[in-house]
Structure 1
Amino acid sequence: MSRSPRANAQPSPWRLMARRFAPYMRPQRALIGGSLLALVLSTAMRLLEPWPLAFVIDHVLSGSGQASGLLGDLAAGRDTVHLLWLCAGAVVAIAALKAVMNFSSTVGLALAGSRVLSAVRLDLFAHLQRLSLAFHGRSRTGDLTMRLINDIGMLREATVTALMPMLANIFILGGMFAIMLVLNWKLTLVALLPMPLLLWSTRRASRQIHEVSRAQRKREGSLAAKAAEFMAAIRTVQSLSLERATMRSFGGDDAQSSQQNVKSKRLSAGLERKVDLIVALATALVLLQGAYAVIGGSMSPGDLLIFISYLKSAFRPVREYAKYTGRLSKALAAGERVVDLLDEQPDIQDRPDAQPLQVLRGDVRFADVGFGYRSDDGSVRPLFEHLAFTIAAGQAVAITGPSGAGKSSITSLLLRLYDPDQGQVLIDGQNIRDCTLQSLRQQISLVPQESLLFGVSVRENIALAALGDVTEAQIVAAAQLANAHEFIQQLPQGYDTVLGERGSSLSGGQRQRMAIARAAIRNSPLLILDEPTVGLDSENEHQVTQALLRLMRGRTSILVTHDLAFAAQADRIVFIENGQIREQGSHAELLGQQGRYAELWRLQHPAT
């Protein structure tokens, strides 16, 4: 049986957006409800605005004090001057109440929107940090940053400057057409004659504008990603005189984004002009029919004034929708990009029954591990097959071999940045996939090849890695272990010195010793060192090596390195090639085997 088109129809993007953000709105229900009540009261005041003027026209300016129509009974028996003062006072009172209600609804809804979207941004930032390395590997940092900052900012702006006025006008539209039906139902039906044409035009144009806005937001995300890539590599760009090439690449994307922006504006402007013409047609029809009704005595001039005023205001929501449709469409496209990111599921998650990891000794075992990296098309490039080795508690094992052999992948599997396709990684006999991610990573200290330092003080940078509160003495002790205390004291404000972005105000050796101090203050039983001496001169390499050897004492340590002189100081060396363990043993044992390790050793140390 075929399904009906309605059954196959997808929910509107606005409905999907409202459903996705509903959990963030629930804590703000009281504020949103109060603001909407103020909005309804403001609408009521706006509906009352034409009535004092109608009183004046029908019962003061007419000269007779008697008039037919809806207002006649209310004015019966009252003094003309008294009516005039009442009408003038009513104008001021209505304006004042409308101003108060407008202010309350505007501030209330703006505050609620700001709180909701701030919560969304915080959740999105936390979600981005939980997404796997595979996701970040195929995503562009600039685009992700734009979704986090610009897209949510656009949603916040649209909430205040477009969506809230539209809500107000929807209330006004309903109220005014209700009163118009009471005033003269025949005239109201005349006013509604052009509505089908109006709805068709706005729906068609809105759909086109939304598609263009969606493409533009995607293009702007790509533009932001390209700008971030070029700025991150500014040293290389300037060194190789690549400014013109980068300008051509950036300028091409910028031109396409500008074209899409102009197209969106053109569609919005065209919609506004169509709406203006249709509204003018409806007004002309009502004016003709209403004038005949007044001449025939079936309608008073004041009632016609109220009707025309309401008609003009009733079409305001449609006019403003045409005016703001571009902004709303951009906000909708931005919201879809945010929702797409929130709906992205992390590849690495805690199992429902995951338990905290308990490290009593620190044994590490890779048991029949198979693993490969997945490409964008879903295919898998195998790396390990039946990888198996053990690291005893407190033992230091160096993993070495040619580039691309899978050395760093072993540490990524231990940290659960990736999960193996087969087999298990165990710590003290516990499968790490059965443990919570937080408890696993708290048991491991890491000294990476490129340490990440933040633009805060030296003291804060060291203390960031601590698992609890730390004292000044502990921070200093960690810096001393890392051979960092001396150069820190020579900084302008010592431990209170604020570092440049990514630690740019420090040398490579100083940054690496800061990373060692951070690992020391974490004081975890497991330690991973990932190429910690790469790119250092002889003096800094000696300082870093001595600090690392002190850090490794009493910890189960995995040292990933190409530096065989450093690897030789480990208890055991595992030589990996093409995803397989080719040799393992102590430095002396591997030299005695005269295999690949011995060959590489002679290349690095030809004199020995």
Structure 2
Amino acid sequence: MVAEAPAAPASRRRGPVDPRMWRYSRSARGHLVLTVTLSLVVAAAVIVSAVMIGTVLAGVITDPDARSVAHWSGELTVLAAAVAVRVTATWLQSRFAHRSASRVIGELRAEVLAAATDLAPRDLDPRRDETATVLTRGIEGLRAYLTGYLPALLLAVTVTPLTLLVIMVTDLTSAVIVVITLPLIPIFMILIGLLTRGKAAASLRTMTALSAQLLDLLAGLPTLRALGRERGPQDRVRTLGDEHRRTTMSSLRIAFLSSMVLELLATLSVALIAVSIGLRLVFGEMALQAGVIALVLAPEVYLPLRTVGAQFHAAEDGMAAADKAFGVLDGRADARPPGGAPVPAGVVALRRVGMRSRSGWAPRGLDLILAPGKVTALTGPNGAGKSSAVQVILGLAEPDEGSAQVGGTDIRDLDPQLWWKSVAWLPQHPVLVPGTLRENLELTGPVDADPRRVDSVCAATGFDDVLRESPNGWDTVVGAGGIGLSLGQRQRLALTRTLLTEASVVLLDEPTAHLDAESEARVLAAIRALAESGAAVLLVGHRASVLAAADSVVTVAAEVPA
């Protein structure tokens, strides 16, 4: 169990480099520093290479006595070193970018998972499928952002202005042409961005819906097959798949067209500079060295911006998923700080508790007392707020009205870890994980009970029959969600796990679901024995037999506005 943290809506992206990434990932900060440093090294290598090429080429053409390799050995050495430095810096950037991307994705995934588990159940439920998609496939798209888009963006803010400055010093006319044509590329990038706005978000939504539909279909496939309806949802799945394919192909078409537009603009701009330099060289209006340097540097001015445009679409899916992830992380800012008051002895009391729901209040004005040694039943129609009341007692949700107290201390003021050690909870849908029956028995903590007590509880829940039928007893392996066991057997295992607890407060939500009358009677007798040992027991249920086993019955009521 985890502490509650109210969710916050995902905030909007803040420019091409979202500062939240550097706040939530230490590796991202290191990656940014390394990328900036290597971008400056590449910029310096590009400028040195252009100057050396212009110097050597102009000298060889204009000076017949300087056409030997030995005459230009110094310049050629510098040129080779600059090329080697550029290649090495580019290689290092690519190598460490992939490593850093893996670390950043791993850190963000761990942060989001921890933040998601901190959310209150009613805050997590609406975004469960979206968060699962982000954690599994969506956030992996950040790799293209970190390895392609971010380095290209940093090159655009280092190489482009520095090379433009060198062109301006070397040939002012060429610099003027660059200044006039260069803004065309970001302008068209903005126009294309406006055209594709929402494509990545739409793709993520479709993928989320498709994943949720497939998971629900696979989980319910045995039931659908038993009813002869296993092919019923195929049209819906096919529709979602086709929608995802159309959205993806639409994004790819625009990405290809935008790359073509940017390449065409850059090619025409460099051609204008080349024609200008050629005409002025013909009429003797500029030096050959300056013309060669300006011509070599001209493509380097446009290259980073073209690369940014080409990488933008590849990174959009990842940034859309990251934006959802940051929304979960931002919601953790208001989480309750660790620690708190120790758990006092006494009754658990809900006083005039109300919880807002989508259709009003569920529950509203609930008064409930859980006393040691007593069994209290909580009943009411579906949707009245019984499970919400249990979450309030657990500290997983805060009431919108009223208070929940233990021995006179508000549950919100308790140390959550200490409180959860004092509470045993059987949810309506018990959690079973892949592993052995013994591992599932000890899922909520090691079972140190006397083996005779374990056997007694197993006999009370009817799980001893399951163990006798299992080939390896407690070492029998089950799948996710208890696959390999029937619904009744899963319920008995979860009941056994709960009734073996040493907790002082026991919350049982529909404990006898999927059990026959004889098994139900044995379980209720075991619950009564647990209460007589000093535990405060809450039963949530509808059956008359369950309510009859309680010392007192509280009816939950919802309030729906007229």
Q: Same fold (TM over 0.5)?
A: yes
Give the letter aligned to residue 366 of structure 1.
L
SS at match of 2:180: coil
User: How far does residue 290 in structure 1 lie from its aligned partner after superposition?
Assistant: 0.6
Q: Give the match for residue 331 of structure 1.
A: 318
User: How far does residue 202 in structure 1 lie from its aligned partner after superposition?
Assistant: 1.7
Asked whether 1:65 is paired with 2:53, we answer no
Whole-angstrom distance in 2 between the partners of 1:555 and 1:215? 51
Q: What are the ranges of 5 or more consecutive residues in structure 2 without an aligned counterpart?
A: 1-10
Whole-angstrom distance in 1 between the partners of 2:382 and 2:267? 74
Contact kept? 1:214, 1:333, Cα under 8 Å = yes
Asked whether 1:307 is paired with 2:290, we answer no
Whole-angstrom distance in 2 between the partners of 1:143 and 1:224? 9
Map 1:541-552 to 2 at 5 A.
541=520, 544-545=523-524, 548-552=527-531
User: How far does residue 255 in structure 1 lie from its aligned partner after superposition?
Assistant: 2.8
**CA distance 1:353–1:186, shift in 2 (3 Å):** closer
Asked whether 1:47 is paired with 2:47, we answer yes
Aligned residue pair count: 544
Contact kept? 1:230, 1:246, Cα under 8 Å = yes
Map 1:199-348 to 2 at 5 A.
199-344=186-331
Map 1:463-502 to 2 at 5 A.
463-466=442-445, 470=446, 474=449, 479-483=454-458, 484=463, 487-488=466-467, 491=470, 494-502=473-481
Whole-angstrom distance in 1 between the partners of 2:395 and 2:221? 33
Whole-angstrom distance in 2 between the partners of 1:49 and 1:275? 25
* Counterpart pick for 1:363 among 347, 364, 369: 347
**CA distance 1:452–1:25, shift in 2 (3 Å):** closer
User: How far does residue 46 in structure 1 lie from its aligned partner after superposition?
Assistant: 3.1
Contact kept? 1:396, 1:557, Cα under 8 Å = yes
Asked whether 1:458 is paired with 2:437, we answer yes
Whole-angstrom distance in 2 between the partners of 1:12 and 1:143? 17
Whole-angstrom distance in 2 between the partners of 1:253 and 1:545? 46
Contact kept? 2:196, 2:251, Cα under 8 Å = yes
**CA distance 1:278–1:34, shift in 2 (3 Å):** closer
Whole-angstrom distance in 2 between the partners of 1:475 and 1:159? 55
Q: Give the match for residue 3 of structure 1.
A: none
User: How far does residue 84 in structure 1 lie from its aligned partner after superposition?
Assistant: 5.4
Contact kept? 2:371, 2:536, Cα under 8 Å = yes
Asked whether 1:432 is paired with 2:407, we answer no
**CA distance 1:547–1:55, shift in 2 (3 Å):** farther
Asked whether 1:126 is paired with 2:110, we answer no
Q: Give the match for residue 84 of structure 2.
A: 96
**CA distance 1:425–1:102, shift in 2 (3 Å):** same
Asked whether 1:374 is paired with 2:357, we answer yes
Give the letter aligned to residue 348 of structure 2.
V
Whole-angstrom distance in 2 between the partners of 1:409 and 1:59? 84
Contact kept? 2:340, 2:416, Cα under 8 Å = no
Whole-angstrom distance in 2 between the partners of 1:482 and 1:156? 51
Map 1:582-601 to 2 at 5 A.
none
Contact kept? 2:344, 2:409, Cα under 8 Å = no
SS at match of 2:269: helix
Whole-angstrom distance in 1 between the partners of 2:430 and 2:300? 62
User: How far does residue 90 in structure 1 lie from its aligned partner after superposition?
Assistant: 4.5
Q: Give the match for residue 4 of structure 2.
A: none
Asked whether 1:519 is paired with 2:519, we answer no
Q: Give the match for residue 13 of structure 2.
A: 13
Give the letter aligned to residue 412 of structure 2.
R
- TM-align CA RMSD: 3.5
Give the letter aligned to residue 22 of structure 1.
W
Normalised by the length of structure 2, the TM-score is 0.84
Contact kept? 1:399, 1:574, Cα under 8 Å = yes
Normalised by the length of structure 1, the TM-score is 0.79
Whole-angstrom distance in 2 between the partners of 1:444 and 1:280? 70
**CA distance 1:398–1:383, shift in 2 (3 Å):** closer
Whole-angstrom distance in 1 between the partners of 2:61 and 2:16? 54
Give the letter aligned to residue 418 of structure 2.
S
Give the letter aligned to residue 120 of structure 1.
L
Moved more, 23-32 or 516-525: 23-32
**CA distance 1:216–1:450, shift in 2 (3 Å):** closer
User: How far does residue 201 in structure 1 lie from its aligned partner after superposition?
Assistant: 1.6
**CA distance 1:487–1:370, shift in 2 (3 Å):** closer
Asked whether 1:138 is paired with 2:153, we answer no
Give the letter aligned to residue 434 of structure 2.
G
Contact kept? 1:529, 1:559, Cα under 8 Å = yes
**CA distance 1:321–1:577, shift in 2 (3 Å):** closer
Q: What are the ranges of 5 or more consecutive residues in structure 1 without an aligned counterpart?
A: 1-10, 67-78, 581-608
Contact kept? 1:143, 1:221, Cα under 8 Å = yes
SS at match of 1:449: coil
SS at match of 1:343: helix
Percent of pairs identical after alignment? 22
Map 1:192-203 to 2 at 5 A.
192-203=179-190
**CA distance 1:247–1:562, shift in 2 (3 Å):** same
Whole-angstrom distance in 1 between the partners of 2:252 and 2:28? 34
Contact kept? 2:144, 2:315, Cα under 8 Å = no
**CA distance 1:475–1:200, shift in 2 (3 Å):** farther
Whole-angstrom distance in 1 between the partners of 2:454 and 2:73? 82
Contact kept? 2:395, 2:416, Cα under 8 Å = yes
User: How far does residue 142 in structure 1 lie from its aligned partner after superposition?
Assistant: 2.7
Contact kept? 2:355, 2:363, Cα under 8 Å = yes
SS at match of 2:137: helix
Q: Give the match for residue 116 of structure 1.
A: 104
Q: Give the match for residue 71 of structure 1.
A: none
SS at match of 1:445: strand
SS at match of 1:512: helix
Q: Structure 1, residues 158-200: CA drift from partner, whole Å, max 9, x if none?
A: 2113222332343221222122112211222123322343332
Asked whether 1:159 is paired with 2:146, we answer yes
User: How far does residue 324 in structure 1 lie from its aligned partner after superposition?
Assistant: 1.9
Query: Which one has the largest radius of gyration?
Result: 1
Higher relative CO (Cα under 8 Å, sequence separation at least 6) belongs to 2
Whole-angstrom distance in 2 between the partners of 1:456 and 1:54? 70
User: How far does residue 258 in structure 1 lie from its aligned partner after superposition?
Assistant: 2.9
Q: Give the match for residue 574 of structure 1.
A: 553
Moved more, 513-522 or 289-298: 513-522
**CA distance 1:161–1:14, shift in 2 (3 Å):** same
Give the letter aligned to residue 115 of structure 1.
R
Asked whether 1:554 is paired with 2:534, we answer yes
* Counterpart pick for 2:484 among 505, 513, 517: 505
User: How far does residue 508 in structure 1 lie from its aligned partner after superposition?
Assistant: 3.1
Whole-angstrom distance in 1 between the partners of 2:71 and 2:312? 43
Contact kept? 2:35, 2:151, Cα under 8 Å = no
Give the letter aligned to residue 40 of structure 1.
L
User: How far does residue 316 in structure 1 lie from its aligned partner after superposition?
Assistant: 1.0
Contact kept? 2:354, 2:362, Cα under 8 Å = yes
Give the letter aligned to residue 37 of structure 1.
T
